[in-house]
Amino acid sequence: GLENETITDFKDLPIEIVINLIACTSVYRYDNKLIGDPIDISVINCFKGTLLEDSIKTSHPFSLSIETLARFPFESALRRMSCVVTVQNPTFERGYEYYSVVKGAPESLKCMFSKIPHNYDELNNTYSSKGYRVISLGYKKLDFNTGNVVFTSLF
């Protein structure tokens, strides 16, 4: 069961998860306020994010600069949204990496993942039955020159 599961503190999350949480949003700034999904706004605030026009900068626990190259907004029929982003971080070998990130309903994303936690369904069922909003995250590190790519769809 889930009795022995621990909850990871946000400061201890792998950098790829932090990138996904911050990058895969449709939050925007209007009249000096963040507008969008309350969960996304909380995530940006949690990581001390600064939202610029097409990028987000964070300082805690990672120093990241995330630029959105393509955004595919949430679609109810697909039950997910996705983005392609460039992430700058001083720990990356070349200083930046490209990622494709997706978030959405666990049932919709499960078939897309190459690795699935052994208790994926149990976690989803347990927390959703208690009224929690359960969201799955996925990412893929990309290796391409964006100057030669046209984004028409993703996932």
State yes or no: pLDDT of 152 exceeds 90. no
Nearest alpha carbon to residue 121 among 133, 134, 131, 140: 134
Report the percentage of the chain scoring pLDDT > 70: 90
Average the pLDDT over 97-111 and give the result. 96
Nearest alpha carbon to residue 96 among 40, 21, 27, 146: 146
All residues at 6 or more sequence positions from 91 whose CB lies less than 8 Å from its CB, including other chains: 15
Q: Average per-residue pLDDT in the chain?
A: 89
Domains of the chain: 15-142 (3.40.1110.10)
pLDDT band at 62 (very low <50, low <70, confident <90, very high): confident
State yes or no: pLDDT of 10 exceeds 70. yes
The pLDDT score that the predictor gives to residue 68 is 93
Distance CA 87, CA 78 (A): 26
The pLDDT score that the predictor gives to residue 148 is 56
The pLDDT score that the predictor gives to residue 53 is 80
